[in-house]
Structures are given as C-alpha cells and as structure tokens.
C-alpha cells in the first residue's frame, strides 16, 4: 500500500488521503527522495526495490531529485483539509511535495547574506557620529519661532482693556 501511495505521490506530486496514511507515507518516501539525490546505479536499484514502478523511479531521479537538491529534508507537506470521509469518518488531508507547490513557493526572493555585527562596530559608529551630529539638530529646533494666536500681542491683557 505504501509503495503504491509513494508512486502516486511522486508521479502526481499531490494526493488526497487520510492523515494516518499520510504520516506513514512521509516516513516511507522522504528517505527515498534523499537517496535519489545521488544518481548511482545502486541508489536506483534500492529505490526500485521499494517502489516497484519504473515510471515513478524515472520521475523521482529526474525532476524530483533536481528540484529537491538544495533542500536538507522535509520534502513533503501534510495539509489537513478539515473534512472527514463519509464512510468511516476518517480525517482527510492533502500530502504534497513541497518544491512543486507554486502557491507557497517564494519566487524572486534572493537569499540575503547574513552579516555579523559586533558590539564594537556599533560603539565606534555611535562615538564618531554623536558629538557633531547632535549640535546641528538642536540648533534647527530652537531656530523656529513660536506661532502667536490672533488676538494675543506682546502687551499684557490688563493694558489692552
């Protein structure tokens, strides 16, 4: 049963099944995808002994292995659908290969290089900019005149009456 489920998953990239079968299938198919990363005769024969399907082995070593080459693990995703099967009330889910879902895939987002910044670099930056930069900012705030109200003049209120 797991061999047929794995072959169907590899060929169609997404299948609907019960949650229990999907969790068992994940443990069955992920080592096969890992083994398919190195395309040798030994790994092909090992994977064929599990799947017993030439088309699924060809697909696994062709498109699936090329797309999952950079990924370290976690090749499948289980999405619970929330509904149950009519006959036995089993919880249904969707199991799919992660790299073949175009909705969740982030395209055009380049990996940003992470840089480490030490505390000394921040301290040097703060020391060099704080004395000179603080003075011009203070001058611009004090240079603005305060707005006067329409009826208010420089004379006290008693003298106006």
Closest CA to 29 of 41, 92, 12: 12
Is residue 8 a part of any domain in this protein?
yes
Is residue 21 a part of any domain in this protein?
yes
Q: What is the CATH number of the domain that holds 34?
A: 3.90.1030.10
At residue 57, does pLDDT exceed 60? yes
Predicted local distance difference test score (pLDDT) of residue 102: 79
Is residue 140 a part of any domain in this protein?
no
* Whether the Cβ atoms of residue 109 and residue 48 lie closer than 8 Å to each other: no
The per-residue pLDDT of the chain, averaged, comes to 81
* Whether the Cβ atoms of residue 57 and residue 51 lie closer than 8 Å to each other: yes
* Whether the Cβ atoms of residue 58 and residue 36 lie closer than 8 Å to each other: no
**Confidence band of 89 (pLDDT split at 50, 70, 90):** very high
Is residue 46 a part of any domain in this protein?
yes
At residue 113, does pLDDT exceed 80? no
Is residue 105 a part of any domain in this protein?
no
pTM of the predicted structure, to 2 decimals = 0.64
Residue with tokens 């992660």: 98
Is residue 141 a part of any domain in this protein?
no
Is residue 24 a part of any domain in this protein?
yes
Task: Please count the structural domains in the chain.
Answer: 1
At residue 40, does pLDDT exceed 50? yes
* Domain residue limits at 73: 2-100
Is residue 107 a part of any domain in this protein?
no
Treating both helix axes as pointing N-terminal to C-terminal, what angle do 41-51 and 19-35 enclose, rounded to 10 degrees?
160
CA–CA distance, 34 with 30 (Å, rounded to integer): 6
């Amino acid at each position: 049963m797991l061999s047929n489920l794995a072959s169907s998953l590899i060929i169609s990239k997404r299948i609907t099944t019960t949650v229990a079968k999907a969790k068992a299938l994940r443990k069955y198919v992920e080592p096969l995808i890992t083994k398919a990363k190195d395309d040798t005769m030994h790994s092909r024969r090992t994977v064929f002994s599990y799947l017993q399907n030439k088309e699924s082995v060809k697909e696994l070593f062709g498109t699936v292995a090329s797309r999952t080459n950079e990924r370290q693990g976690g090749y499948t995703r289980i999405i619970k659908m929330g509904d149950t099967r009519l006959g036995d009330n089993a919880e249904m889910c969707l199991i799919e290969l992660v790299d073949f879902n175009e909705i969740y895939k982030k395209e055009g987002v380049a990996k940003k290089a992470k840089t480490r910044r030490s505390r000394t670099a921040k301290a040097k930056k703060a020391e060099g900019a704080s004395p000179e930069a603080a003075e011009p900012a203070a001058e611009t705030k004090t240079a603005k005149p305060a707005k006067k109200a329409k009826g208010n003049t420089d004379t006290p209120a008693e003298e106006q009456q």
